């Protein structure tokens, strides 16, 4: 999974996963959250989601949460993950400000 360390830019999928895991969720619930929040624009395949969750867990940005009852493993964001999400939010605000400046704030 790409996350541009020097530029600090996360992929949209990474950022959405970090947002989804501000409360404990298992894979299916994460998928539902992202679909709902993007009105179906961003749909994650199970294979992609599995790989992304593994990478984030390896980086220490999310951690398994609660009792691991077989198939349904829940995750929760860690402090390192929150910090990464905060930085991404800041970057997006700056990006939107530049876009507003040039495009006149018209949507």
Binding of residue 87 to other proteins (CB under 8 A): no
Question: Is 19 a residue that touches other proteins (CB under 8 A)?
Answer: no
Given 23, 24, 37, 50, the residue binding other proteins (CB under 8 A): 50
- Listed in sequence order, the residues at least 6 apart from 76 whose beta carbon sits closer than 8 Å to its beta carbon are 21, 23, 24, 62, 63, 65
Q: How far is the CB of 26 from other proteins (least distance, A)?
A: 6
Span from 9-17, 57-65, 81-89, 92-100 in contact with other proteins (CB under 8 A): 9-17
The bridge status of strand 62-69 relative to strand 72-77 is antiparallel
């Amino acid at each position: 999974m790409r996350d541009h360390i020097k530029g600090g830019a996360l992929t949209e999928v990474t950022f959405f996963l970090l947002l989804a895991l501000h409360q404990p969720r298992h894979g299916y619930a994460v998928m539902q959250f992202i679909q709902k929040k993007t009105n179906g624009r961003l749909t994650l395949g199970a294979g992609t989601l599995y790989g992304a969750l593994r990478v984030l867990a390896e980086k220490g940005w999310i951690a398994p949460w609660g009792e691991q009852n077989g198939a349904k493993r829940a995750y929760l964001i860690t402090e390192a993950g929150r910090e990464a999400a905060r930085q991404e939010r800041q970057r997006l605000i700056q990006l939107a400000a530049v876009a507003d400046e040039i495009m006149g704030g018209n949507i």
